[in-house]
Amino acid sequence: MKKHYLLSALTMALLVNAGHAAEGAAAAKNSAIKKGQTLAAGIATEYIDPAVRPQDDFYEHLNGKWLKTVEIPADKSSWGSFAKLRDDTLPQLRGIIEKAAASNAAKGTDAQRIGDYYASFMDEAKLEQLGIAPLDGELAKIAAVKDKAELPALLAHLGKIGVNVPFDFGIHQDNKDSTKYVADIGQGGLGMPDRDYYLKTDDAKLADAKAKYQKYVEHTLSMAGDKNAAANAKAIVDFETEIAKVQWTKVELRDPIKAYNKVNLADLSTLAPGFEWKPWLDAANLSGKVTYVIVGQPTYLKSFMQVANNTPIDVWKAYLSMHLVDAYASYLNKAFVDERFDFYGKTLSGVKELEPRWKRGVGAIERSQGESLGKLYVAEYFPPARKARMEALVKNLLAAYKQSIDKLDWMSPATKKEAQAKLAKFTPKIGYPNKWKDYSALVVARDDLVGNVMRSREVEYNRELNKLGKPIDRDEWGMTPQTINAYYNPEMNEIVFPAAILQPPFFDANADDAVNYGGIGAVIGHEISHGFDDQGSQYDGDGNLRDWWTEADHKNFADKTKMLVNQYNQFEPVPGYHVNGELTLGENIADNSGLAIAYKAYKISLKGKKPPVIDGLTGDQRLYMGWAQVWRMKMREQQQIQQVKTDPHSPGQFRANGTLRNQPGFYDAFKVKQGDKMYLAPQERVIIW
């Protein structure tokens, strides 16, 4: 089951941005500001390249020496602040996990589940001995299918254990009645990141990826015992190409109104003729729990059924076998692990080496028991003083938004009233949940890695399914505390900041607040602004899809955002691959709005006092430098292409410079004038907040 949080995260991948040292355990435990303490600037001035003027390329000026000297680690597709913090957090998590593994904890405890799961992952000798055997039972179920009438129940079963099938469902709040949970059906089933990898045959790089994907499919099937692997691999890629043709684009998927299609169960057969829905509903354990579902892409569902009906049953069986093995390849022996890494790591992302096994083991624990691990992480590495200081920052950011709404020149009084009402209902969540997830239903065996993974996926499937018919759980988090990220969820109207992101360069407990407002302050502003971007603004303060804007306000906002689309369309991180201004619009709005509000919130925090000059830098300068150093990053070309095709976030250098060019305060702080490369004429600047 795919978890359908309709959230807007700060970054959709952990390996996407810039570099700065994280605090160690000792620093984390001693992060409260002491009376009389001299605060640092918090700027990594050692990376400044004086040969580049800040007025011409602020990103290169601030980060130039880092960009010239730092190499992307061999086991990474990119390197920067998110990836660096993640890498710094991993040894902390490893220590917690290995302590649990050595504790001989009582059966059924969190420590036993964490320790035994990790031990099963680290036992490579056992996995070599087993080979493909752990999947024999599931492969036999697929092989036993005699006709297409058996496919619906099989697809539902495979969905339960995390296999990528052509359509899946998740549980989330009903977008037009946020007091209820609802089942949602959406498109899926592709083995590559985006439909363009299948359809852009005139793009040499994407065509090469497609050819190598077919080889990966062939090799995987062959290792799983398929005697007709080459022919089946071609048939599978052809099948997925047909699926890609009828899928919605990433831009189309951004429209929550078009994605809300309430369909009574009795009408599903009309929407998708030829598919037996009752066996699917029964096998998915949905029968009797819902009377309707939300279909995200109805045209896809209808067109896909035509593709499915034209596809021979033997191709279906090969396709499902392939996706089963792919879903568990990382938990099999070295041959399967290496084969999968060769395509998804090397070919698609440009990674040179596989991560060390212990790092992958930590990731396996996070995917299966993330909050159990998070509870232990918070106890050891997240001091209460940091949370208290964050709460003060959030309070000032919300105050800045409250003041700004009333001063907007593009929003009418009626819409301003609604905007204030929505802002008043925002729920901030900082650090960690008030209530931790219960993993007692998960049975973990020290000698059964694939079984552990399968059972953990089923436990999460059932956890989601059991929400149906129950009150909304407003304590639930969509990220673990150890995640280096943040998000806004419009259905909950909440902004969430996990503990692990509250470290330098985002939040420096020993630095003056200017850099923190440019870092975590802009992150907070970014997430709040998602409630008012082109997607989030379609939800009201209760999380319901409702148009609370006047027609004139819609037009004014569209005019501004069209300018932003045009600005970002010009950026070209890889020759021939431009940023998609429509795909990245929501995140670009959030970056520009978040930094503008962070600047205003910083002024509120000063309470009329003049900020200190530290290391020759004014408060305003430190704020904007704090913003630009957050996005310091390097990325391999293959990963950059994948990001441009699939990620709603712009590449780091454009998040930095593209945002700064629209900030009036930046022009004043660094004396940017006409003729400078960072300069935009006042009428070309997009100022939303």
- Among 164, 135, 170, 141, smallest CA distance to 153 is for 141
pLDDT reported for residue 175: 95
Which two three-digit tokens encode residue 402?
């409250």
Q: What is the predicted pLDDT for the residue at 528?
A: 96
pLDDT above 80 (res 69): yes
Q: How far apart are CA 96 and CA 100, in angstroms?
A: 6
Q: How far apart are CA 659 and CA 627, in angstroms?
A: 9
Mind listing the pLDDT tens digit for each residue in 510-540? 999 999 999 999 999 999 999 999 999 999 9
* Structural tokens at position 127: 């996995």
Across residues 386-404, what is the average pLDDT? 92
Q: What is the distance between the alpha carbons of residues 344 and 217, in angstroms, rounded to a whole number?
A: 12
What value does the mean pLDDT take over residues 268-293?
93
pLDDT on residue 299: 97
Residues 527 and 495: beta-carbon distance below 8 Å: yes
How far is 599 from 601, CA to CA, in rounded Å?
Answer: 5
Whether 567 and 448 have beta carbons less than 8 Å apart is answered as no
pLDDT at 308: 95
**pLDDT > 80? residue 383:** yes
Q: What is the pLDDT of residue 389?
A: 84
- Closest alpha carbon to 167 in 263, 103, 57: 263
**Residue 615: closest CA among 52, 42, 57:** 42
Which secondary-structure segment (H or E) carries 402? Answer: helix 384-407
d(CA 208, CA 257): 36
- CATH code that applies to domain 151-331: 1.10.1380.10
Axis crossing angle, helix 298-309 with helix 229-246, rounded to the nearest 10: 150
Per-residue pLDDT at 11: 77
Residue 151 near residue 402 (C-beta atoms within 8 A): no
Distance CA 411, CA 133 (A): 62
pLDDT over threshold 70, residue 48: yes
Provide the residue type at 327 as one letter: A
Query: Strands across the sheet with 487-489, in order?
Result: 8-9, 487-489, 494-498, 427-431
Residue with the bigger pLDDT between 8 and 496: it is 496
Residues 426 and 595: their CA atoms lie apart, in Å, by 19
Alpha-carbon span 86 to 132, nearest angstrom: 32
Identify the bridge partners of residue 292 per DSSP, sorted by sequence position.
264
Alpha-carbon torsion 642, 645, 650, 651, what sign?
A: positive
The pLDDT value recorded for residue 32 is 41
Return the H-helix or E-strand segment holding 604: helix 585-606
Angle of CA points 259, 316, 297, to nearest 5°: 5
- From the list 372, 363, 374, 378, the residue with the least C-alpha distance to 440 is 372
pLDDT value at residue 38:
62
pLDDT at 385: 84
The backbone torsions φ and ψ at residue 40, rounded to the nearest 5 degrees and listed phi first, read: -85, 165
What is the spatial distance between Cα 18 and Cα 70, in angstroms, rounded to a whole number? 11
Taking alpha carbons only, the member of 659, 686, 669 closest to residue 559 is 686
Average of per-residue pLDDT across 234-238: 98
Q: What is the pLDDT at residue 7?
A: 65
Task: Give me the count of residues in the chain.
Answer: 689
Q: What pTM was computed for the model? A: 0.93
Q: How many CA atoms lie within 13 A of 317 on its CB side?
A: 19
Residue whose pair of structure tokens reads 């992307």 in the numeric block? 72
How would you write 93-114 as a 3-class SS string?
HHHHHHHHHCCCCCCCCHHHHH
Task: Give the helix ranges, DSSP H, for 247-383.
Answer: 268-271, 277-283, 298-309, 313-328, 334-340, 348-349, 357-381
Long-range contact pairs involving 145-151 (C-beta distance under 8 Å, separation at least 24): 145/313, 145/316, 145/317, 146/313, 147/313, 148/308, 148/309, 148/313, 148/316, 149/276, 149/279, 151/316
8 - beta bridge partners? 488
pLDDT at position 24 is 33
CB 518, CB 622: distance < 8 Å: yes
Residue 617 DSSP one-character state: B
Round to whole Å and give the CA distance between 495 and 429: 6
Give the lowest-confidence range in 20-34, 407-421, 463-477, 557-571: 20-34
Closest CA to 459 of 430, 438, 479: 438
Q: What percent of the chain has pLDDT over 90?
A: 91
SS3 of 479-524 = CCCCCCCCEEECCCCEEEEEHHHCCCCCCCCCECHHHHHHHHHHHH
pLDDT of residue 111: 96
CB 322 within 8 A of CB 221: yes
25 has a pLDDT exceeding 60: no
Which pLDDT does position 29 carry in this prediction? Answer: 33
Rounded CA separation 516/519 (Å): 5
Residue 574 is given by DSSP the state: B
Average pLDDT, the chain: 93
d(CA 623, CA 516): 7
Does residue 47 register a pLDDT over 70? yes
pLDDT at 473 over 90: yes
575-587 pLDDT per residue, tens: 999 999 999 999 9
Cα gap 644→581, rounded to integer Å: 10
* Whether residue 630 has pLDDT greater than 50: yes
Strand (E) or helix (H) holding 245: helix 229-246
Domain 8-24+39-94+382-437+472-684 in this protein, CATH class: alpha beta
Q: How far apart are CA 457 and CA 436, in angstroms?
A: 18
Helix, strand counts (H, E) of the chain: 28, 10
Domain ranges of the chain: 8-24+39-94+382-437+472-684, 151-331
